[in-house]
């Protein structure tokens, strides 16, 4: 490491200003230095004590560069300055120690002016000099000591080492540049310039390329073709120059010289590159609402019962997105689906909708105006967050995302704190709440499974009431502002953003499957056939039978999208066109796989008729099994097989955020459990024109007797039956 001191002629940096130390002088008994600005030649005086303080604080540094150095050489010197000798390769460390030992030994064993004197033997002067004789001895002794073998040192080599060391007095300059040996400039400078320009142009073009469903990936063959065209043109301008096209490996060598981040932007796109080059960010306060949004899920400590039979179904999962700036909850999921990409997609879909269903389904509650697409998402290190589905969804929505460090929940304190507030302020006083085992309350005194009284629709309604009337309206201790007030301030300058059309979310939140066959039977996915008029036109363009890529919404198998490779667009196809509409409309992928498995067990076939019979048989089996004393685990699996969850609410929201109908286990019922179910439409009386009079209705006394009660069936165990999805 170079050594410096305050002396005349030394250059220093104070901040970004370079000074030259002119002279030292006393002023009122205090040592001062006259400094000269090397840029504008302005002179100023600084006390020595002030210079010492600036050096200790890091504001002052010595400049070891010389005035005659070029900017590239100064940049190289600054780069080497940050690498201590101990971090250099072992070969360079040994080389520096050996050369430094030679220089020190020569300085110690020779007097000034005696290096060039000839050696006298027996009174006769020889041709050998004192320096060369000493170098021969040091080459043998120090060479064995440092390098393991004797070395030969010429006088010219010694002076070259001294020149390098004396230039900056930095022993790291003695490491040598053996890695630069060889003919490394075999390419013509004009060819190298053309290659760099074409690669830079391709990277810049790829940064602004936006291909729906495709990757913005540069192809080396295209770069080589463009370079060859320019080389041919340059050959005509410079007939005497030898301009050759380099090999492909040379192109990749120059390609790797560009920054990896720029290459990743060109290869994967800007959003994916930001995800790949993300870093653990410090806790920075966002400036607006939706700047940073955190996601997490947890199993609620409360039991939910079946609304008809009153049987406990288990503890549902709650997932939500919490805005860091405001603390508002912008999207939720509630149901029995375990943590998966379906839960994250359902929560994002709820956040991206305008939630106008609240005013219609829950009259009297405040509007849920906390909505919009996040500008940055933060997940925990769960497996579903690292999946391809989340990468696809966030890439389509242009949402960069990051992950919290493993086992560090405090890095997403906003969403973790929201769960704690929900447990203490919302659920703790409700019947069916699971108490902390540390309270040591006997289950005979309080059993949450037997005391549970909350159905799913009731819990979903109370969740809306608590979020909109309590949580968002209550001031937080730190800011003394409620999330509603902070949302108003956070959206005053930057408005929330939404997709262009609400139905775009059906396409974005789908899962992609490759290699499905499109022919005269349509597209078959999980034994369901899909077709449409647009698919018929696609077969006309691309062939009567070919492999296609499809995108499926796992919450509704009634509709899929098929990729047209010539039109570069997704084409919708419905199951209703092939007769599967009544079965597949509103059907979850998980439930459909259960029906397929049960149909194979019942009849060994999986046609539409067998699927319908399998669904009816499995629903009847579940209906008879629920009243029996099954385990909570079995009831939870049954609840998932029934599709109990808010995904049926979120998936049915239209473009305006309204909820036209419910699907799944609550089909035909209102979302608000306090409202009566809609009455079936009564057919108007038919006016008789002719014919015999209709038969009189039998009196009540002559009404047919009620069917005898069915005997209680034995309790099913489901130990080997995998119909409800038990692993």
Tell me the pLDDT tens digit for each residue of 228-286: 999 999 999 988 888 889 988 899 989 998 888 888 888 877 767 776 776 655 556 78
* Position 457 pLDDT exceeds 80: yes
Residue 517, H or E segment? strand 511-519
By CB neighbour count within 10 A (0-12 exposed, 13-18 middle, 19+ buried), where does 25 fall? exposed
* Position 708 pLDDT exceeds 60: no
| Whether residue 251 sits in one domain with residue 111 | no
| Whether residue 303 sits in one domain with residue 155 | no
pLDDT tens across 358-415, in order? 988 898 899 999 999 999 998 888 878 887 778 888 887 888 888 877 666 656 667 7
Phi and psi torsions of 137, nearest 5°: -65, -45
pLDDT at residue 652, rounded to an integer: 64
pLDDT tens across 278-333, in order? 665 555 678 899 999 999 888 888 888 877 666 777 888 899 999 989 989 999 99
CATH assignment at residue 39: 2.40.10
pLDDT at residue 231, rounded to an integer: 92
Instruction: Please answer whether residues 336 and 636 qualify as being in contact, where contact means their C-beta atoms are separated by less than 8 angstroms.
Output: yes
Instruction: Please answer whether residues 254 and 192 qualify as being in contact, where contact means their C-beta atoms are separated by less than 8 angstroms.
Output: yes
Size (the chain), residues: 727
Compare 690 and 354 and report the one with higher pLDDT: 354
| Encoded tokens for 312 | 């406990």
Q: Spell out a b/e string for 407-443, using b for 16 or more CB atoms within 10 Å of the CB, else e.
A: eeeebbebbbebbebbbeebbeebebbbeeeeeeeee
| Whether residue 66 sits in one domain with residue 205 | no
Pick from 502, 517, 549, 539: nearest CA to 212 = 549
Compare 98 and 706 and report the one with higher pLDDT: 98
CATH assignment at residue 415: 3.30.420.10
Domain boundary among 127, 156, 180: 180
* Position 23 pLDDT exceeds 70: yes
Instruction: Please answer whether residues 583 and 575 qualify as being in contact, where contact means their C-beta atoms are separated by less than 8 angstroms.
Output: yes
Compare 699 and 143 and report the one with higher pLDDT: 143
Q: What would the DSSP string read from start to end of 214-264?
A: S-----HHHHHHHHHHHHHHHHHH-TTS---PPPHHHHHHHHTTS-HHHHH
Note whether residue 287 is domain-resident. no
Residue 509 CA to residue 500 CA, distance in Å, equals 15
Domain boundary among 213, 245, 276: 276
pLDDT at residue 710, rounded to an integer: 41
Residue 16 CA to residue 60 CA, distance in Å, equals 9
| Whether residue 424 sits in one domain with residue 392 | yes
pLDDT, mean over the chain: 79
Instruction: Please answer whether residues 63 and 12 qualify as being in contact, where contact means their C-beta atoms are separated by less than 8 angstroms.
Output: yes
Other beta carbons less than 10 A from residue 150's beta carbon:
12
pLDDT at residue 719, rounded to an integer: 40
User: What is the pLDDT averaged over residues 477-488?
Assistant: 85
* Position 349 pLDDT exceeds 80: yes
Residue 354 CA to residue 616 CA, distance in Å, equals 36
Kindly report which listed range (55-64, 197-206, 396-405, 664-673) carries the lowest average pLDDT score. 664-673
pLDDT tens across 25-63, in order? 998 889 999 999 988 889 999 999 999 999 898 888 887
Pick from 44, 172, 193, 18: nearest CA to 99 = 172
Please give the sequence-ordered ranges of beta strands (E in DSSP) within 248-396, or none if there are none.
293-299, 304-305, 312-314, 317-323, 329-335, 377-379
Note whether residue 323 is domain-resident. yes
pTM for the whole structure: 0.54
pLDDT at residue 663, rounded to an integer: 67
Note whether residue 430 is domain-resident. yes
Note whether residue 35 is domain-resident. yes
| Whether residue 351 sits in one domain with residue 298 | yes
Highest mean pLDDT among 83-87, 174-178, 572-576: 572-576
| Encoded tokens for 310 | 């009153």
pLDDT at residue 356, rounded to an integer: 87
Note whether residue 104 is domain-resident. yes
| Encoded tokens for 665 | 């286990």
| Whether residue 52 sits in one domain with residue 21 | yes
Instruction: Please answer whether residues 548 and 567 qualify as being in contact, where contact means their C-beta atoms are separated by less than 8 angstroms.
Output: no
Residue 152 CA to residue 371 CA, distance in Å, equals 78
Instruction: Please answer whether residues 33 and 19 qualify as being in contact, where contact means their C-beta atoms are separated by less than 8 angstroms.
Output: no
Q: What would the DSSP string read from start to end of 44-91?
A: EEEEHHHHHHHHHHTSEEEE---TT--HHHHHHHHHHHTS-GGGS-HH
Share of the chain above pLDDT 70, in %: 76
* Position 353 pLDDT exceeds 60: yes
Note whether residue 410 is domain-resident. yes
Note whether residue 64 is domain-resident. yes
Pick from 637, 335, 389: nearest CA to 510 = 389
What is the span of the domain harbouring residue 377?
293-490
Which residue matches tokens 């004393």?
Answer: 629
Compare 121 and 439 and report the one with higher pLDDT: 121
Kindly report which listed range (444-448, 477-481, 580-584) carries the lowest average pLDDT score. 444-448
| Whether residue 249 sits in one domain with residue 116 | no
Give the count of domains, the chain: 4
Residue 556 CA to residue 525 CA, distance in Å, equals 13
| Whether residue 91 sits in one domain with residue 70 | no
Note whether residue 24 is domain-resident. yes
Domain boundary among 159, 180, 201: 180
First to last CA, the chain: 65
* Position 695 pLDDT exceeds 60: no
| Whether residue 202 sits in one domain with residue 135 | no
Instruction: Please answer whether residues 570 and 561 qualify as being in contact, where contact means their C-beta atoms are separated by less than 8 angstroms.
Output: yes
User: What is the pLDDT averaged over residues 194-220?
Assistant: 74
User: What is the pLDDT averaged over residues 191-213?
Assistant: 79
| Encoded tokens for 171 | 């022993």
| Whether residue 356 sits in one domain with residue 229 | no
The dihedral sign for the CA sequence 133, 136, 140, 141: positive
DSSP alpha helices (H): ranges in 576-652? 581-584, 589-602, 608-625, 632-642, 647-651
CB contact set of 213 (below 8 Å; sequence gap of 6+)? 563, 568, 570
| Whether residue 136 sits in one domain with residue 16 | no
Q: What would the DSSP string read from start to end of 694-713?
A: PPPPPPGGGSPPPPPPPPPP
| Whether residue 421 sits in one domain with residue 338 | yes
């Amino acid at each position: 490491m170079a050594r410096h001191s305050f002396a005349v002629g030394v250059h220093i940096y104070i901040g970004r200003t370079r000074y030259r130390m002119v002279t030292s002088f006393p002023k009122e008994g205090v040592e001062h230095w006259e400094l000269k600005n090397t840029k504008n030649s302005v002179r100023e005086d600084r006390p020595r004590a002030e210079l010492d303080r600036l050096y200790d604080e890091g504001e002052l540094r010595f400049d070891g560069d010389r005035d005659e150095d070029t900017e590239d050489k100064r940049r190289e010197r600054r780069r080497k300055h940050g690498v201590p000798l101990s971090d250099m390769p072992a070969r360079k460390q040994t080389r520096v120690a050996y050369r430094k030992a030679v220089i020190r030994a020569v300085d110690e064993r020779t007097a000034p002016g005696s290096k060039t004197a000839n050696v006298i033997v027996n009174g006769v002067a020889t041709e050998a000099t004192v320096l060369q004789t000493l170098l021969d001895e040091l080459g043998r002794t120090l060479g064995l000591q440092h390098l393991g073998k004797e070395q030969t040192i010429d006088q010219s080599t010694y002076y070259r080492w001294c020149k390098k060391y004396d230039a900056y007095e930095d022993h790291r300059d003695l490491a040598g540049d053996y890695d630069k040996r060889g003919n490394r400039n075999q390419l013509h400078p004009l060819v190298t310039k053309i290659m760099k320009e074409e690669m830079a142009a391709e990277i810049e073009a790829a940064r602004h390329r936006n291909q729906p469903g495709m990757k913005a990936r540069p192809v080396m063959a295209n770069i080589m073709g463009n370079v060859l065209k320019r080389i041919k043109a340059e050959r005509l301008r410079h007939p005497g120059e030898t301009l050759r096209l380099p090999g492909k490996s040379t192109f990749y060598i120059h390609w790797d010289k560009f920054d990896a981040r720029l290459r990743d932007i060109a290869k994967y796109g800007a959003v994916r590159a930001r995800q790949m080059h993300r870093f653990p960010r410090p806790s920075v306060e966002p400036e607006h609402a939706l700047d940073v949004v955190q996601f997490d899920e947890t199993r609620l400590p409360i039991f939910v019962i079946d609304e008809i039979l009153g049987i406990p179904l288990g503890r549902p999962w709650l997932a939500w997105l919490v805005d860091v700036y405001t603390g508002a909850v912008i999207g939720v999921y509630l149901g029995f689906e375990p943590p998966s990409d379906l839960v994250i997609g359902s929560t994002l879909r709820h956040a991206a909708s305008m939630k106008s269903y609240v005013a219609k389904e829950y009259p009297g509650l405040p509007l849920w105006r906390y909505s919009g697409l996040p500008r940055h998402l933060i997940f925990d290190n769960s497996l579903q967050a690292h999946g391809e589905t989340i990468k696809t969804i966030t890439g389509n929505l242009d949402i960069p995302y990051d992950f919290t460090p493993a086992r560090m929940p405090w890095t997403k304190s906003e969403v973790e704190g929201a769960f704690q507030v929900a447990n203490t302020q919302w659920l703790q006083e409700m019947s069916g709440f699971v108490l902390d085992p540390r309270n040591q309350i006997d289950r005979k005194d309080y059993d949450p499974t037997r005391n549970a009284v909350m159905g799913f629709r009731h819990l979903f309604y109370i969740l809306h009431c608590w979020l909109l009337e309590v949580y968002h309206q209550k001031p937080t201790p730190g800011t003394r502002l409620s999330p509603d007030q902070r949302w108003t301030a956070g959206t005053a300058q930057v408005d929330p953003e939404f997709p262009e059309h609400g139905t775009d979310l059906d396409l974005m939140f789908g899962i992609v499957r490759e290699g499905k066959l499109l022919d005269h039977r349509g597209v078959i996915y999980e034994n369901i056939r899909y077709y449409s008029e647009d698919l018929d036109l696609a077969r006309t363009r691309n062939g009567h039978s070919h492999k296609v890529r499809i995108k499926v919404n796992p919450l509704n198998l009634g509709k899929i999208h098929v990729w047209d490779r010539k039109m570069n667009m997704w084409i919708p196809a419905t199951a209703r066109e092939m007769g599967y509409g009544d079965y597949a409309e509103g059907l979850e992928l998980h439930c459909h796989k259960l029906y397929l498995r049960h149909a194979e067990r019942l009849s060994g076939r999986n046609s539409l008729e067998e699927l319908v019979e399998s669904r009816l048989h499995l629903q009847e089996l579940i209906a008879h099994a629920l009243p029996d004393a099954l385990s909570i685990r079995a009831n939870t699996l049954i609840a998932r097989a029934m599709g109990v969850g808010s995904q049926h609410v979120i998936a049915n929201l239209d473009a305006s955020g309204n909820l036209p109908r419910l699907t799944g286990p609550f089909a035909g019922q209102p979302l608000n459990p306090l409202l009566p179910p809609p009455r079936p439409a009564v057919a108007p009386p038919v006016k008789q024109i002719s014919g015999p009079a209709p038969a009189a209705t039998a009196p009540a006394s002559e009404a047919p007797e009620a069917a005898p009660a069915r005997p209680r069936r034995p309790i099913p165990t489901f130990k080997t039956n995998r119909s409800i999805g038990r692993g």
